[in-house]
Amino acid sequence: MITSPDNDKARFIRNLLSKKDRYAAKHFVVEGVRLVWEALKAPKPPMYTLYDADALAKTTEGQRLLMRLIELVEDKKGVFPATERVMEGLSDTVTPQGVAAAVPFLQWQPADFAEAKLHLVLDEVQDPGNLGTILRSAWAAGETSVYLTEGSVDFYSPKVVRAGMGAHFKVPAAIGQTWEQLGDRLEKAGVEQILLADGGDEPIPVSKKENLPEVSYYEVDWSKPTAVIIGNEAHGAGAEARKAATHLLRIPMPGGAESLNASVAASLIIFEALRQRSQPA
């Protein structure tokens, strides 16, 4: 039983709440029953998992996880019971969930990206909730990969991980990408068209000035391997994104709104692509 917050394993997990320490250790924190279940099923298991048995015993799902964790304790798989006080120090939320783990950064192979039909390029998207929601939609629809350009929100931040609800372990993702790297990756993935779903709070999207041909999102042939660029929430897509795009993607808004939330726009696109892919040949 780990009883001290200064225990080396507890301290290792707690330090991962800092971005600097996350990237130095190449591990991130997952917290809560659902996320820890997903982490335990990942190709690389958590380095450490700490849990408060009393907290987990309060729910049916927690009890199921508790039984599995006890088995792993006996097998010496890096799982350790801890006190409530220790667990409180491992969370950045008001109410700790009784279980937390230190998980290695995820590694996806080129073949994983090549299997995707839809490739979402998030150009300096900043909101953790938006990224987490986009990842969940990508997981739900399947056959979707995600790329984050340099300057985007941290893929492994606790807020993004919570919002993703396990999608980190299911959706191929490449982070910190330059546009040169993206061009190479998309080419290797067989992408045939790159669409710009521009937005932001500017009244006239900057991409309009590029004279890109426009296409409605339900007129696109989503059966082709396609990349869609989602711009920054405030100022839309950057200059390099606009240069890479072949078309400006439009989502009709007859009600008069000027823009959609980035995660809403991405989800509409993801599921329209799924709808088309699901049609009989």
270 shares a domain with 163: yes
CATH assignment at residue 19: 3.30.1330.30
59-92 pLDDT, tens per residue? 999 999 999 999 999 888 899 999 999 999 998 8
120 shares a domain with 82: no
Average pLDDT over residues 46-52: 97
Residue 263 has pLDDT above 60, yes or no: yes
Please identify, among 57, 89, 104, the residue that sits at the C-terminal boundary of a domain. 104
Q: Does pTM surpass 0.85?
A: yes
Q: What is the span of the domain harbouring residue 34?
A: 8-104
269: exposed, middle or buried (Cβ count in 10 Å: 0-12, 13-18, 19+): buried
123 shares a domain with 53: no
Residue 260 has pLDDT above 80, yes or no: yes
258 shares a domain with 154: yes
74 shares a domain with 46: yes
119 shares a domain with 34: no
Q: Is residue 1 part of a domain?
A: no
d(CA 234, CA 246): 22
CATH assignment at residue 170: 3.40.1280.10
Percent of the chain residues past pLDDT 90, beyond the cut: 81
181-229 pLDDT, tens per residue? 999 999 999 999 999 997 544 433 444 446 788 999 999 999 999 999 9
Structure tokens at 11: 């301290």
124 shares a domain with 91: no
Please identify, among 80, 104, 128, the residue that sits at the C-terminal boundary of a domain. 104
186-to-113, 135, 153, 244, 270 alpha-carbon distances in Å: 9, 18, 21, 11, 17
Q: Is residue 132 part of a domain?
A: yes
Average pLDDT over residues 107-130: 95
Overall domain count for the chain: 2
Please identify, among 88, 104, 120, the residue that sits at the C-terminal boundary of a domain. 104
